[in-house]
Amino acid sequence: MERIYYRATAGESVPAGPLKADIHAEIAIIGAGFAGLATALGLVERGRHDIAILEAQQVGHGASGRNGGFVFGGYSLGETQLVRQQGPARAREMYRLTLDAVQLIKHRCRHYRINCDLNSAGIVLADWFGDRRRMRQKQDFMNRVLGCRWEWLNQPELRGRIRSARYHGGLLEPDAAHFHPLKYARGIASRLASSGVRLFQDSPALNITGRQGAFRITTPNGSVSAEQVVIAGGGYLHGLEARTSRAILPIATYVMVTEPLGSRLTEFLNCEHAVYDTRFAFDYYRPLPDTRVLWGGRISVRDPGPAVIEKWLRRDLARVFPELAGVAVDHVWSGLMGYPLHKMPIVHPLQPGLWTCIGFGGHGVAPTTAIGELTAAAIADGDQRYRWFDDYRLPPAWSGLGRAGAQISYWGLQTLDWFRDRRRFQ
């Protein structure tokens, strides 16, 4: 049985029941994760309130309430690949959307008084391989080409903060943050409800019929008719719309949370930064307000169960902090990411009035807000910036074949990490 830390510590759930009637709304949104909630809030902030949100489970049930809580810029697609595909000018604009989204998330936490343990201490990319030249090139590229503000941490500086012999320096993204994602999702949902948005939980969308101005979404006990519809599911979006279902690979990732470490925490993490490293198959972790450590990593096309996940992640933790090899683990879970093969968000109308807002797997907190803003601006104001993503439409994921390919690709990247690590000691 999953033991999800976020659910255990999020407080009261959102008081919204299932849809049990046939209703009408100007705009219907399918999915109450970050993408759907961000789209809805973007619409409300633009004066559009006649919105109905359908959620198959509860607010933040999927990746939005299970992720690592890292709030930073970028997409799953690597930055150099983005520049190669789009050119420096457009890539900088597209990347800027996510940097602006980080600031918008911080603003909304303050403005709407969302208590989600927001920590603005920044995020560190730790150098696993001891490749100073490559790290300096990364810093220059991020700052000069993409307009970021990444700061160099030499090895003594980094080890004063992250007390592990595994790392050789790092890059600090000081404008980044980390937070309790489920508290944030519920906080946004509560704000939407107070603005007149109708939210229905335990209300899976079964099918969508009609066309612009006259769509109809059927649920088990009711329906919504709407002029416009936004599909904002992710790894848990199954079978609703054939094209979106084919485009998304549901890929699992794993997280655990330790027991409270108390004063021992500063022996390992003498900072409040969230951390990830330079391997393809990297670890990611961060300190929590109650002195626990949240630790995540690995991806797979299967869910092996909490006992196996804990065994894997304990091994990863002990490689970085050997002194924590025997620490108690109180929470273990997995979650599905909605992963498109091109590794970029998919935002465009399948037909006039029927929007997709999907494909954030692996790097979703800021991009969901960014794409939610673009979708809201397109619907409310006719903003055409969503067309920047026209190259990233609905690729076929080829179901089982695509999942097998993703798993093989991940194993290949792990192998490359192993060779790079071994070369370092030769």
Q: What are the DSSP E strand ranges found in 90-185? A: 123-126, 151-153, 170-173, 177-178
CA distance 84 to 424: 29
Cβ proximity of 268 and 323 under 8 Å: yes
Report the pLDDT value the prediction gives residue 200, as an integer from 0 to 100. 98
Residue 14, pLDDT above cutoff 70: yes
Could you tell me what percent of the chain has a pLDDT over 90?
80
CA distance 77 to 44: 30
Which residue type sits at 426?
A: Q
Give the CB-side neighbour count of residue 121, counting CA atoms within 13 A: 17
Q: Does residue 423 or residue 108 have the better pLDDT?
A: 108
- pLDDT, the chain, mean: 91
Res 397 pLDDT > 70: no
Per-residue confidence (pLDDT) for residue 424, from 0 to 100? 54
For 271-287, b/e burial (b = at least 16 CB within 10 A) is bebbbbbbbebbbbbbb
Specify the pLDDT at position 407.
46
Tokens at residue 33, please? 């994760």
Q: Bridge partners of 27? A: 51, 228
Question: How confident is residue 410, by pLDDT bands cut at 50, 70 and 90?
Answer: very low
Q: pLDDT band for position 420 (50/70/90)?
A: low
3-class state of residue 90 by DSSP: helix
Residue 234 has pLDDT above 80, yes or no: no
**What tokens does 309 get?**
């996940």
- What's the pLDDT band for 416 if we cut at 50, 70, 90? low
Nearest residue to 215 (alpha-carbon basis) of 204, 207, 226, 201:
226
Per-residue pLDDT, averaged over 202-227, amounts to: 95
- For the four alpha carbons of 163, 165, 166 and 172, in that order, the dihedral sign comes to positive
Lowest mean pLDDT among 75-79, 131-135, 148-152, 420-424: 420-424
pLDDT of residue 244: 80
Q: How confident is the model at residue 151 (pLDDT cuts 50, 70, 90)?
A: very high
Nearest in space to 128 (alpha carbons), one of 102, 175, 162: 162
Domains and CATH numbers, the chain: 1-117+178-248+341-395 (3.50.50.60)
- At 347 the pLDDT is 95
CB 88 within 8 A of CB 305: no
Q: How confident is the model at residue 287 (pLDDT cuts 50, 70, 90)?
A: very high
User: Using one digit for the tens of pLDDT, what is the confidence trace for 236-270?
Assistant: 776 787 788 778 888 888 999 999 999 999 999 99
Tell me, what's the pLDDT at 394?
Answer: 84
Residue 60 CB contacts under 8 Å (≥ 6 apart), including other chains: 6, 32, 33, 34, 181, 182, 185, 186, 189
Residues 303, 153: Cα–Cα separation, whole Å: 37
Over range 328-338, report the average pLDDT.
91
pTM summary value: 0.93
Mean pLDDT confidence for 310-326: 96
The least confident of 87-96, 294-303, 367-376 is: 294-303
Q: What is the pLDDT, as a whole number, of residue 408?
A: 46
- pLDDT at 333 exceeding the cut of 90: yes
